[in-house]
Structure 1
Amino acid sequence: MSDKAEAPEGGAKKKKGKLGKLLVVGVGLIALVGGGVGAGLYAANSGLIGGGGHAEKEEDKNTPHLVPKSEEKRASAAGGEGGEGGHGGGGEGESEGGSEKAEGLPTPAGEGGDKYASNYFTLEKEFTSNLKESVHFIQVGIAVSTPYDDRVIDNLKTHEIAVRSAILMTLSNTDEESVFTQEGKEQLQRKLTQAINGVLKQKEGFGGIGNVYFTNFVVQ
């Protein structure tokens, strides 16, 4: 009788032993899988795998960014002095926020105002060229504006020789009739903008010039 009574107890112990081993194996697998996922996420975030995140950060660092109107540097913050580079023509010594900090008052946006800041730059020396199939020549002074940060102006300065060549070629391909009308001058502005952006895209992969302005315009 005692042998028959002990048999079920021994079988239960064996079942418990097997169940314990299964639980240990299961916990071990979960730990390995969890550790592998965690290691993979860490490697991806740190750039050890793929390097995509690092490349995106580098590309973002080298790409010009649009400057909100609220961050535009105002001429009043620099004592009314214009200059090359800087949003709105301000210099490097301005405090952030432009006139908001200098004057203590917010800059009124006004209706229909630009959404982004205007970063102006005046090209040195005027441009003189013969007009297309004409005995007359044109002499213009040119300034540009961009809604992007100073990297666009830096690119323009770096490749100014190529930019000046593109501007002269555009002027020499301009008809005499077009320079005497408002519509023709506005069309010339657009052509010059495209020419400058074409050079910057070729050299830097990014244009960024929004408008061209004439600081002087003479036809003789």
Structure 2
Amino acid sequence: MSDDKDKKDAAKAPGKMAKLGKIIAMVVGVLLLLGGGVGAGLYAASSGLLGSGHGGGHESAAENHPGPKLVPKSEQKRPGDGAEDSGHGGGGEEHADSGEAKDNAGMPTPIGDGGERYASNYYELPKDFTSNLRDSVHVVQVGLAVSTPYDDTVIRNLKTNDLAVRSAILLTLGDTTEEQVFTSEGKRQVQRKLVNAINEVLRQKEGFGGIANVYFTNFVVQ
């Protein structure tokens, strides 16, 4: 009986080995497939084939939407050059030593008798502004224009955020005193406050200010 059992076990052994070999081959095949998929995914991600929320998309968007650029005086638009209503005027303010957009608006730096290095892009705000003066029975009505040494991007930002800008201007005028509106120095103080108020709105909405000066086109106190 022992010899018969040994013979049966010996006959079954090759079959067991064959099954075991098939199982091992299947496991190895699955591992290879998984490894290949992970490797392909890593390669695709590293080569930029797969989209990423923090990758080239932002770089591409930045390239397509560059910030405002300073306009050299030599490229200033003059009356009769076909300039639009927001075209460049005369007497620009300098804000940086390079062509990169740096938000130093409101701090013009003269460069001597040769004039300013950068052009001024002028824009007149539509409609006058009317506001009560602080702690006063008087009312002030002003017309405003602004200038920027940057390209039309700043003017477009100003137009896009017109409502927010107008609100900031009215708040600033409402905080103005009688002493300020009746003296030249007081009016210059109001101008500086308006520059800061407008730039603050543009920085909040667009990430960049760019307004250098505010000018009164109309100024009436009643």
Q: Structure 1 length as normaliser, TM-score? A: 0.63
| Structure 1 position 71 matched with structure 2 position 72 | no
- Check 1:112–1:54 CA distance in 2 against 1; reply closer, same or farther (3 A cut): farther
Query: Which structure has the larger Rg over C-alpha atoms?
Result: 2
| Structure 1 position 55 matched with structure 2 position 63 | no
Matched position secondary structure for 1:129: strand
Residues 59-102 of structure 1: CA deviation (Å, up to 9, x unaligned): 25331111111111111323xxx75212229xxxxxxxxxxxxx
CA distance in structure 1 between the aligned counterparts of 2:62 and 2:47, rounded to whole angstroms? 20
Alignment of 1:140-219 (within 5 A): 140-219=142-221
CA distance in structure 2 between the aligned counterparts of 1:64 and 1:204, rounded to whole angstroms? 11
Q: Which runs of 5+ in 2 are unaligned?
A: 1-42, 91-111
CA distance in structure 1 between the aligned counterparts of 2:174 and 2:193, rounded to whole angstroms? 12
RMSD: 2.8
Q: Which runs of 5+ in 1 are unaligned?
A: 1-38, 90-109
Matched position secondary structure for 1:164: helix
**Corresponding residue for 1:11?**
none
Matched position secondary structure for 1:145: strand
**CA offset at residue 182 of structure 1?**
1.0
| Of 69-78 and 197-206, the range deviating more from structure 2 | 69-78
Q: Which has the higher contact order (CA 8 A, sep 6+)?
A: 2
CA distance in structure 1 between the aligned counterparts of 2:115 and 2:184, rounded to whole angstroms? 23
**Corresponding residue for 2:93?**
none
* Greater fraction helix: 1
CA contact (8 A) 1:68 1:117 kept: yes
CA distance in structure 1 between the aligned counterparts of 2:195 and 2:181, rounded to whole angstroms? 16
What number of residue pairs does the alignment pair up?
Answer: 158
- Check 1:148–1:57 CA distance in 2 against 1; reply closer, same or farther (3 A cut): farther
- Check 1:53–1:75 CA distance in 2 against 1; reply closer, same or farther (3 A cut): farther
